[in-house]
Structure 1
Amino acid sequence: MTVRFRLDDDQLALRAGVRELLGRCFGRERLRAAVDAPGRLDRALWRTLGAAGFFSLRLPEADGGAGGGLPEAVLVFEEAGRALLPGPLVATHLAADAVPGAAHGETVVTAVDGELVEWLDAADTVRGDARDAVPLRSVDPLTPLHRLPESRSPAPDPVAVLLTAAEQLGTAGRVCELAVGYARTREQFGRPIGAFQAVQHLCAELLVRAETARAAVYAAAVTADPADIAAARLLADEAAVRGARDCLQVHGGMGFTWEADVHLHLKRAWVRARRAGGSAWSEERLAAALAD
């Protein structure tokens, strides 16, 4: 089957609108303020997202939603990943049709995910058994974690896997932009560092991984096939994690400082890579598809 995914005018407008909204409501100053106050979920921002239809996007119009599908959800979550938007976004989105208030951002929903739970203390509703969960020091200051003594969640929802892949894609695209922008402006030996072949190769590899992941994630949003979703997730995880690492290399010593944002993208990519079954679920789905 040939899959074609070309954004139509409505989808382009949706992506632009979400990027504008997040730039206005969660720009760099708000991001840094959130980093300085880890574990505190901004309820006003959450309600703003709800009012904008972030969580109710896939609900039917008759139920107060926008009647969108997975392709539209992927575009929205890609922008959320690009902006490093914090909070249990996927869990609340998936609960929009089941938990009162979730669709409009009035209720924050998290979910047990294997042995981990994100944003447990900030959530109003927890889907799954989170008894005996203990705080875990998270590498990402914007994703507080709790650990359970054992896995208590069923196989991950493929939609959760896909939306996590979309967030990873957002990070992959953003770190590519950051690396290229820095390579154009940072000078060494009287020349922009982007003039040096080693830096050019890093930037080229960043772009290739991001665009390969984009094609896979967009295609999986159209087909909704579990094997396609699994492949998209593996490619998006690689594009986000390796992309953030390469972006650090382009930035050199500056990239490792607390003031730079690159490390925040890498840390979030690491945490997301553990979510919704991680690589194990995706690898198992692909192996099963190849065996059929």
Structure 2
Amino acid sequence: MRFQLTDDQRVLKAATRELVERVWPAEALRAALEGAPALDRRVWTALAEAGVFALRLPEAEGGVGLGRAEAVLVFEELGRALAPGPLVATHLAAGVVPGAATGDRVVARVDGGLVAWLAAADVVVAEAAGGAPVDASGAVTLRSLDPLTPLHRVPAGVEPAGWDAEAALLVAAEQLGTAARVTDLAVRYAKEREQFGRPVGAFQAVKHLCADMLVRTELARAAVYGAAVTGDRTEVAGAKLLADDAAVRGARDCLQVYGGMGFTWEADVHLHLKRAWVRARMRPRATEAEEVQAQALTAASL
């Protein structure tokens, strides 16, 4: 069985990258870091008009009519660009919450007791896909690791049991985007930065870091794309586990390649690391994903 992208899927991926680079350039990313993060409605509208939120709605309902695999490709590019807002929640709410598909209503989602972008949201829904709206009026503001992802903790009892496989897969796709982006950044910097008259990429230790980043990224890519095809909950858990690892470890290794420069506010590397940390706290977290994998292995051995 071949899992190569079709020509249409490659065009979709390239078009999404071009769109995000146009509406969310480096200048906009930097501007968003000034003061409290606010959702850029211009960017949100552009994504909605491109069909990001209505991607999987049937054409008869005003959607694009594509599937899970295409959604993963789109969210990989959104993750690569650190696109703002509760993208996954609003995408999953299309067709369930009126106005979500068109971008007229921003939907946030309870995930592990946390809600991202609560202040910008018109509706907050429960953790399960298509979950009912919940009252998050008593949510407590948290100091987020990621300056571009405001977080709140909801009161006890709001969060339902279990985790949503559809949401987990799209978050894994975003993590894959970050893993690929920081790998590209590390390789480019290793070619440009010189020490002792040579590019730092000529040194074996740096070569090993970049190679390890690439291996983790491509392993995560295979898992995420595979889970997008099957939709299997166990495979989604494995994909999230591998994508979290690729994004977090990749961003940390990229920091090593950059050296002290990576910790400066001017570099984007630390922003990718902080976003990867926040996404890794979205369910299933590592221990939950490992438990799902262990249960599947145990059942297979009986």
Residues 7-156 of structure 1: matches in 2 within 5 Å?
A: 7-128=5-126, 129=134, 130-150=136-156, 152-156=159-163
Give, in whole Å, the separation in 1 of the partners of 2:67 and 2:219. 22
1:280, CA displacement in angstroms? 3.0
Give, in whole Å, the separation in 1 of the partners of 2:247 and 2:154. 27
Partner of 2:219: 212
The partner residue of 1:283 within 282, 290, 295 is 290
Partner of 2:176: 169
Q: Does 2:237 match 1:230? A: yes
Structure 1 gaps, min length 5: none
Corresponding residue SS for 1:36: coil
Query: What letter corresponds to residue 122 of structure 1 in structure 2?
Result: A
1:276, CA displacement in angstroms? 2.6
Partner of 2:129: none
Query: What letter corresponds to residue 154 of structure 2 in structure 1?
Result: L
Give, in whole Å, the separation in 2 of the partners of 1:116 and 1:168. 18
Q: Does 2:253 match 1:240? A: no
Q: Which moved more, 1:54-63 or 1:122-131?
A: 122-131
**TM-score, normalization: structure 1?**
0.97
User: Which consecutive aligned stretches of 4+ in structure 1 deviate over 6 angstroms post-superposition?
Assistant: none
Give, in whole Å, the separation in 1 of the partners of 2:19 and 2:151. 27
Q: Verify the 8 A CA contact 1:133 1:146 in the aligned structure 2.
A: yes
1:283, CA displacement in angstroms? 1.8
Q: Deviations over 1:158-209 (max 9, x none)?
A: 0100000000000000000000000000000000000000000000001000
Corresponding residue SS for 1:146: strand
1:155, CA displacement in angstroms? 1.4
Q: Deviations over 1:222-252 (max 9, x none)?
A: 0111111111110000000000000000000
1:111, CA displacement in angstroms? 1.1
Say what the alpha-carbon RMSD is for the aligned residues.
1.1
Give, in whole Å, the separation in 1 of the partners of 2:57 and 2:161. 24
Q: Verify the 8 A CA contact 2:240 2:284 in the aligned structure 1.
A: no
Aligned length: 290
The partner residue of 1:249 within 256, 261, 272 is 256
Structure 2 gaps, min length 5: 127-133
Q: Verify the 8 A CA contact 1:39 1:119 in the aligned structure 2.
A: no
Q: Verify the 8 A CA contact 2:237 2:284 in the aligned structure 1.
A: no
Q: Deviations over 1:118-166 (max 9, x none)?
A: 1111101111332421100001011000012436233121010000000
Q: Verify the 8 A CA contact 1:113 1:153 in the aligned structure 2.
A: no
Query: What letter corresponds to residue 290 of structure 1 in structure 2?
Result: L
1:277, CA displacement in angstroms? 2.9
Give, in whole Å, the separation in 2 of the partners of 1:86 and 1:243. 21
